[in-house]
Amino acid sequence: MVTFFSYISMIVMDSSMPYRDPHSLGRWKCRLRRDDLIVASFPMTQSIFPFPRQAATRAEALAQLEAFAKRAHRYARERNSVVDSHRNVSQLSAALQHRLISQQEVVDQVLSQHSFVAVEKFLQEVLWRSYWKGWLEWRPSVWQDYLSQLSGFSDEDRQRSQSVALGQSGCAVMDDFAQELRETGYLHNHARMWWASFWIHHQKLPWALGAEFFLQHLLDADAASNTLSWRWVAGLQTAGKTYLVRRDNIERYHHAPPSKGMEMLDAITVSIPSEERAHERIESLDLTTSLPSTQRKTLILLHEEDLSIEQTTLAKLQPERIVFFDRAASNPLSPRQQWRQAAFQDAISRVGSHFQQRCDVVQDLRDIHPLIAERSIEQVVMMKPMVGPLDDALRPFLQELSTAQIDIHALRREEDARYFPFARSGFFPFWKKVGQQLAQR
């Protein structure tokens, strides 16, 4: 009997079926046998929220970028407004996080149509992602401490957090944001800031549990941007600075905020959590971008953080095998997982076409061992995962291969090798260097 997960995967990864609003899955329920059903954590009803246009293939992302680039000069004055369909922003965050397209492609496209001055604010926002990633690469202990905090919360902490995450706080605008995130996998950045501030400073909930909620549901979930942004709102990331949501700010920038419970926002006080230790910067980063020997028997390991390896230096390899590691999902019906499966299938198809060979898919890394033995693989080559859950999942496996005398080569993208050295401290020193480079193009 086919399992529920594998059946849903076949539905989602069928290339004849486009990526859909996940609530349309309700129309597919008749295709599932009763004994295959499990309880899903989101309702099978039509969402009240417009589904975000988060491109799930490289072709869609490039088309969306081309369309948005024409109006990128309007971004600075329109970006803070939270409106229906989120038309004021690019909605490319999920594609960028999984590198269906790269930050560099976005920068190049926008600067080909506008002056640097006209689009500087948009470019800053794009490269905040690079900055956050680089900052966390320099300080991986921040991620490890976050994981340690998650393992230490009581059932009471989690129960209180769950009621707010389910949209039961009593403040309608915040409850709507919680529902929108669960049902669509997306929130406007301004709404994320408001909601995180409400969670920490009004509800007095642990910032780490709020960050976990976002990381589980956002289509563009990124360990660095998510963790460090929540720390910033909490007052931990930048000493003496926090973010406090204000009622008048919501009323100014939200197109139609519901009034129920809005008075709760009039009584928010700052609540900065304590931090047990300072996070020292490591001494150096591995910024290798060059290929190893192309004469050795090679397995390419494809993963969720870089879904366009045919656009990287890996394109020059002639691998014996290609394997995609698909981390198992806790909820295969969630909007996040449905988007991921569509993006993964697109990547697998493109990679197979480029290298003219099949790409095997594994959810258990141990299944790669027989593939290595079958072809006498000498080296595994991959794009380097960032500090975060994928890196955590891969590290023990890669250590096993290294112990078995299989060489591991994890390469950086050129843009990461160029920008990460500037991410040692604050964003403004980072932008001073990076912005100067872009302005001189």
**CATH code assigned at 354:** 3.40.50.620
Mean pLDDT of the chain: 88
In this model, does residue 36 exceed pLDDT 80?
A: no
Query: Is residue 216 included in any domain, yes or no?
Result: yes
Same domain flag for 408 and 312:
yes
Report yes or no: 361 and 282 within 8 Å, Cβ to Cβ.
no
In this structure, the answer to whether residues 147 and 226 fall within a common structural domain is: yes
Residue 47 has pLDDT above 90, yes or no: no
* Residue 12, pLDDT above cutoff 50: no
Model pLDDT for residues 161-186, shown as the tens digit of each residue: 999 999 999 999 999 999 999 999 99
**Phi, psi (degrees; rounded to nearest 5) at 79:** -65, -30
Rounded to whole angstroms, the Cα distance separating 283 from 293 reads 28
Give Cβ neighbours of residue 414 (< 8 Å, ≥ 6 apart). Answer: 104, 289
- What's residue 402's pLDDT? 96
Q: Let me know if residue 152 belongs to a domain.
A: yes
Looking at residue 52, its pLDDT comes to 56
Q: Are 93 and 210 in a shared domain?
A: no
- Residue pLDDT, tens place only, 72-110: 999 999 999 999 889 899 999 999 999 999 999 999 999
Query: Same structural domain for residues 397 and 313?
Result: yes
Mean pLDDT along residues 366-385: 97
Based on the fold, state whether residues 76 and 162 are members of the same structural domain: no
Within 70-198, residue ranges assigned H as helices are: 75-78, 93-97, 103-111, 116-138, 141-150, 155-165, 172-184, 189-197
396 plus 362 within the same structural domain: yes
Query: Could you tell me the pLDDT band of residue 350, with boundaries at 50, 70 and 90?
Result: very high
Q: What's the average model confidence in pLDDT over 42-51?
A: 44
Provide the pLDDT confidence category of residue 49 given band limits of 50, 70 and 90. Answer: low
Span 57-75, pLDDT tens digits: 999 999 999 999 999 999 9
Alpha-carbon distance 295 to 395, whole Å?
26
Summarize the confidence of residues 188-195 as an average pLDDT. 97
Say yes or no to pLDDT of 117 above 80: yes
Domain containing residue 391: 298-414
Instruction: Judge if 149 and 179 occupy the same domain.
Output: yes
315 and 399 co-located in one domain: yes
Res. 410 pLDDT band, cuts 50 70 90: very high
The region of weakest confidence among 65-79, 202-216, 276-290 is 276-290
Task: Return the CATH number at 166.
Answer: 1.10.579.10
Co-location of 372 and 398 in the same domain? yes
One domain for residues 426 and 371: no
At 306, the amino acid letter reads D
Residue 1 in any domain: the answer is no
Looking at the chain, the whole-number percentage of residues with pLDDT higher than 90 is 80
Percent of the chain having pLDDT more than 70? 88
Is residue 275 included in any domain, yes or no?
no
- Verify that 226 and 341 share a domain, yes or no: no
Flag whether 278 is in a domain. Answer: no
341 lies in some domain? yes
Same domain, 169 and 233: yes
Is 0.95 surpassed by the pTM of this model?
Answer: no
Q: What was the pLDDT predicted at 50?
A: 53
Count of domains observed in the chain: 3
Residue appearing with tokens 């329920």: 29
- Report the distance separating Cα 377 and Cα 388, nearest Å: 27
Q: Is residue 436 part of a domain?
A: yes
Sequential DSSP letters for 190-226: HHHHHHHHIIIIIS---HHHHHHHHHHH-TT--HHHH
